[in-house]
Structure 1
Amino acid sequence: MQDPYSERMSARETRAASGLALVFAFRMLGMFMVLPVLATYGMELQGATPALIGLAIGAYGLTQALLQIPFGMLSDRIGRLPVIYFGLLIFAAGAVLAASADSIWGVIAGRIMQGAGAISAAVMALLSDLTREQHRTKAMALIGMSIGVSFAVAMIVGPLLTRAFGLSGLFWATAGMALMGMLVVAVLPRAHHHLRHRESGVAKQALGATLRHSDLLRLDFSILALHAILMASFVALPLALVGEASLPREEHWWVYLTALVVGFFGMVPFIIYGEKKRQMKRVVLGAVAVLLFAELFFWWFGSGLWPLVGGMVIFFVAFNLLEASLPSLISKVAPAGGKGTAMGVYSTSQFLGAGVGGVLGGWFYQQGGLALVFAGCAVLCVLWLMAVWRMNEPPYVTGLRLPLSAEALLDPALAEQMLAVPGVSDAVVIAEEAAAYVKVDMQVLDRPALDRLVA
């Protein structure tokens, strides 16, 4: 029998976390593989214009933003698995529609349908059902890692697949991956109960406070701006590689591989510095400034192959740094018991940014070419700098969910007693969950005293 307090994940937990990470990876691969190729191959579709290409690139984000939170709440009512199966089926159907299309409007409709398979919140809720409290952070980190890896793989595999099988072949591969994801879900362990967990799901009671929290709103705008800039830039960059650098579209994969690998290793020292020295605000401001520099560099010097490669390396150092840092900041800034709701709003902002960025990137390119796209992204970076300049330095705390004994639940002053424990900065007791949510500084926390209170 598995020790409930074991420091090691059980085989069941490992299988659940790995399987759900794979489901995320399959889905995100399908979303991102079109990013480096749609601007170049999509122009061969009937009725294609740069503005419509941009809409096709970002369309999934609009429906994803609209449906993510409702699907998560629906999974609380009817169960996780029906929502996940239904979402993956919609995603596969959207890929089939796009693969069968011979016009840009068919691809746009397929991308909209892909985004309607908004299962992220339901997958995270299922992960909470299948893992114990002390291992949930590790399991969520595994899923976060799978998303990052899938983005990197998509940027390289997308051009190679399209080169071999064309744009329709790419979408057929995406449909196949969605069906493989359904097979993975079918062999996952079954949850014995649905855990009501405010760290991994949206709580209606916390939504108002989340939307009024100024620093959370700054972070929501940050992820919106980051993905808007990503999508707009990838309307322009593939076209710049073909037109300005004379690099055949079949060879773009090595540019993305170089930029992503260097960008990944380039961001690691800054993450370590920000966390160890507790200077994450400075790191975020610096990364946004570097992103601004990259867009200005593309605008002024992006007329040859090596300047474009160099600019992309700079771009991905900043992008990878921000993509890794912003979710961590949400976890730090969100009040006790509010992380799941804060992450729900954050993810909605991310997908909305992807949709808006694709649409605006295509429209800018149609109106003013590459220069206007890069100039528009630079302006958005300036607005972003202004938004985060007044952000407070985040508290360096960790969120914990502590199950409460029946005796502890009877104590009306439990939250106040928790706040008196050294290292506890925020605490809330949720009686209907028989649990307390606390934010703690692990460097100074008196954990034995906290454990005595909840027991």
Structure 2
Amino acid sequence: MNKTERMTGLLVSLLYFVRMLGLFSILPIFTLAANDDYAAGSLMIGVTLGIYGLLQAGMQIPFGILSDRLGRKSVLVFGLVLFVLGSWLAAVADSIWGILLGRALQGAGAIAGVLLAVVADEIRPEWRASVMAMIGASIGVAFGLSLILGPLIYDIGGLSAVFYLGMLTGALALGLVLVMPFAAVAQLRVTTEPTHPVRGLSQNAQFQWLNLSIFINHFLLMSSFLVIPRLLVSVEIAVADHSWIYLGVLFGSFMIMLPAIIRWGKSQVIIAKVVPAILIMILGLLLLALGVSAAWVLLGLLVFFVGFNYLEATLPALVSQVAPEAVRGKAMGIYSTSQFLGLFAGGSLGGLWMAHLSLSAVLVANGALALGWVVLLLVLNFREQKIAGAKSRG
């Protein structure tokens, strides 16, 4: 990897880091703050959390097309300006509807696909996997740090301060874009790229169930975080202490997850790398649902995050493994869209469940969904093996 490629990889990773840090910081406190400060109902809270994902999913393709025509830099600047404006609007809002509009505007700045296009433009194929690993690590660190910072900042300055953090990180990301070197977009790439691998993606069973997996993984994350802050309060853990809870849980989950990646990563059967982590998440959800004390809830959180963090680290690598190289960028774009749709569905449906069910019942519903996920993956894998066996005999 040459100097330009290293710099591009570092800057793109930093862009993801600062943007995700501002975005996810509301996750551990919003369900409490929106209810206390705005008397918002559970469904409205869920939709407000999830609307970001819906706009992200819907705007990925338009932003990608615009970046091909207008250049990556101008579209990235526009997307980040939308994110900053959305953060400001949410920070100054005096109602849940204002926050909803701000979250939607944040989501409309859908630059994830454009950043992946920058990687494709600037990084040689043999080094792209390394850069993707850097990006994945930056997102993971940002997510973990946001769970710690969110409650701390909320305790100091309220919900507005958390959105102002998003505004600040968006402005920092904008500054990074302005100093980034950009290659000219190769217009001929659009017309000369082979199209048959794209058709192959729609027929690739492994690719399809990996997209399903990231959708459900983020559904479970969003719907569970409608419950988790309230659950911590219900076992008499003060909001001011939530940061330290998340710090300990995330550190412990990473320490447990790393050996699991080493062990399960050796398997040549892709489904064997995914199903054990889902079963761990189910166990964590059930422990949370049955939690009658702080220790019980903390154990459930730890187990849940072991499974979630493992899948977050593993699924993108599996997508790049099964997708043809010629359309790997498009495959990652589809994968990202599935991820964002999962955030929206988890927030919306989770909010609906919260409006009619108890905290424990929502967690049990999540566990049942995850169990259905396992069954479906096993059925799809069996069907794929059966088809492959028939072809080999034929």
* TM-score normalized by the length of structure 2: 0.91
Q: Does 2:339 match 1:339?
A: no
Assess if the C-alpha contact under 8 Å between 2:68 and 2:187 holds in 1: no
What are the residue-to-residue correspondences of 1:300-315 with 2, within 5 Å?
301-315=290-304
Instruction: Indicate the structure (1 or 2) with the bigger Cα radius of gyration.
Output: 1
**Equivalent-residue separation in structure 2 for 1:123 and 1:142 (angstroms):** 13
- Structure 1: gaps of 5 or more residues: 1-8, 394-455
- Aligned partner of 2:391 in structure 1 is none
Shift of 1:25: 0.8
**Equivalent-residue separation in structure 2 for 1:108 and 1:288 (angstroms):** 31
Assess if the C-alpha contact under 8 Å between 2:215 and 2:341 holds in 1: yes
Provide, for residues 109-162 of structure 1, a one-character-per-residue CA deviation record: whole Å limited to 9, x for no partner.
Answer: 111111111001111111222223332222221111111110011011111111
- Aligned partner of 1:247 in structure 2 is 237
**Equivalent-residue separation in structure 2 for 1:211 and 1:272 (angstroms):** 30
**Equivalent-residue separation in structure 2 for 1:225 and 1:139 (angstroms):** 26
- Aligned partner of 2:173 in structure 1 is 181
Alignment partner of 2:48 out of 34, 56, 69: 56
**Equivalent-residue separation in structure 1 for 2:187 and 2:124 (angstroms):** 10
CA gap 1:203/1:152 in 2 versus in 1, 3 angstroms: farther
**Equivalent-residue separation in structure 2 for 1:218 and 1:242 (angstroms):** 36
Shift of 1:276: 2.6
Provide, for residues 355-388 of structure 1, a one-character-per-residue CA deviation record: whole Å limited to 9, x for no partner.
Answer: 1101111111110120221121012101210221
State the SS of the aligned residue for 2:147.
helix
State the SS of the aligned residue for 1:338.
helix
Alignment partner of 2:309 out of 320, 323, 327: 320
- Aligned partner of 1:135 in structure 2 is 127
Q: Does 2:267 match 1:267?
A: no
CA gap 1:203/1:294 in 2 versus in 1, 3 angstroms: farther
Q: Does 2:286 match 1:296?
A: yes
CA gap 1:290/1:114 in 2 versus in 1, 3 angstroms: same
Assess if the C-alpha contact under 8 Å between 2:47 and 2:348 holds in 1: yes
| The 10-residue stretch of structure 1 (113-122 or 45-54) with the greater mean CA deviation from structure 2 | 45-54
Amino acid in structure 2 at the alignment position of 1:179: A
**Equivalent-residue separation in structure 2 for 1:20 and 1:237 (angstroms):** 32
Assess if the C-alpha contact under 8 Å between 1:290 and 1:318 holds in 2: yes
CA gap 1:205/1:45 in 2 versus in 1, 3 angstroms: farther
- Aligned partner of 1:367 in structure 2 is 356
**Equivalent-residue separation in structure 1 for 2:194 and 2:64 (angstroms):** 10
- Aligned partner of 2:149 in structure 1 is 157
Shift of 1:70: 2.4
Higher strand proportion (structure 1 or 2): 1
Q: What is the aligned-residue identity percentage?
A: 37
**Equivalent-residue separation in structure 2 for 1:135 and 1:216 (angstroms):** 22
| The 10-residue stretch of structure 1 (261-270 or 127-136) with the greater mean CA deviation from structure 2 | 127-136
**Equivalent-residue separation in structure 2 for 1:70 and 1:270 (angstroms):** 38
Shift of 1:333: 1.7
Amino acid in structure 2 at the alignment position of 1:118: A
- Aligned partner of 2:217 in structure 1 is 226
* TM-score normalized by the length of structure 1: 0.80
- Aligned partner of 1:25 in structure 2 is 17
Assess if the C-alpha contact under 8 Å between 2:71 and 2:185 holds in 1: no
**Equivalent-residue separation in structure 2 for 1:153 and 1:302 (angstroms):** 25
Q: Does 2:114 match 1:111?
A: no
Alignment partner of 1:381 out of 351, 370, 384: 370
Provide, for residues 34-82 of structure 1, a one-character-per-residue CA deviation record: whole Å limited to 9, x for no partner.
Answer: 0001011111333511111111221101111111122122211211011
- Aligned partner of 1:125 in structure 2 is 117
Shift of 1:207: 4.2
Alignment partner of 2:36 out of 37, 44, 62: 44
Shift of 1:217: 1.4
Assess if the C-alpha contact under 8 Å between 1:98 and 1:171 holds in 2: yes
State the SS of the aligned residue for 1:45.
helix
- Aligned partner of 2:226 in structure 1 is 235
Higher helix proportion (structure 1 or 2): 2
Amino acid in structure 2 at the alignment position of 1:382: L
Q: Which has the higher contact order (CA 8 A, sep 6+)?
A: 2
Q: Aligned residue pairs: how many?
A: 380
Q: What do you get for the CA RMSD once the two structures are aligned?
A: 2.0
